[in-house]
Amino acid sequence: MSTIDTIPFRSQSIAVAGIVYKSAYAVPFRVWVRVLAAMIVAKLDKRRTRIQLSKLTESELRDIGILPAEADREIRRSLPFYERHRLEADPLSFIDRRRRRS
């Protein structure tokens, strides 16, 4: 049986905002803070868009070519406990349910 050659670690250059650094350790702290801030802003933008998507009705979703199930799946990425409220055929049917309980 022969030995297995290992791949030696070679430090790679990293590019941040168009500037190339020799390694991740050479990137200044302020650059990492900017990158982190940009990631947070992007995450909040996606969340805001998903919240707006959750406010659309099923007919509006179909108008833009999205199925309600696809929209629900996308919305749950930011709002895990989201459940689309479906309108009932009879808007006053909740009154009958209250009468049955008592």
Buried b (16+ CB within 10 A) or exposed e, 27-51: beeeeeeeeeeeeeeeeeeeeeebe
Range of the domain at 69: 14-83
Rg (CA), the chain: 26
Distance between CA atoms of residues 29 and 77, nearest Å: 30
Site of tokens 């696809």: 70
Res. 98 pLDDT band, cuts 50 70 90: low
pTM of the model: 0.57
Q: How far apart are CA 82 and CA 85, in angstroms?
A: 9
Tell me if 71 is assigned to some domain: yes
Q: What is the pLDDT of residues 25-55, one digit of tens each?
A: 788 888 889 889 999 999 999 989 888 888 8
Structure confidence at residue 4 as a pLDDT band (50, 70, 90): low
Residue 65 to residues 43, 47, 68, Cα–Cα distance (Å): 24, 20, 10
Q: 34 lies in a domain?
A: yes
User: How many domains does one find in the chain?
Assistant: 1
Tell whether 93 is covered by a domain: no
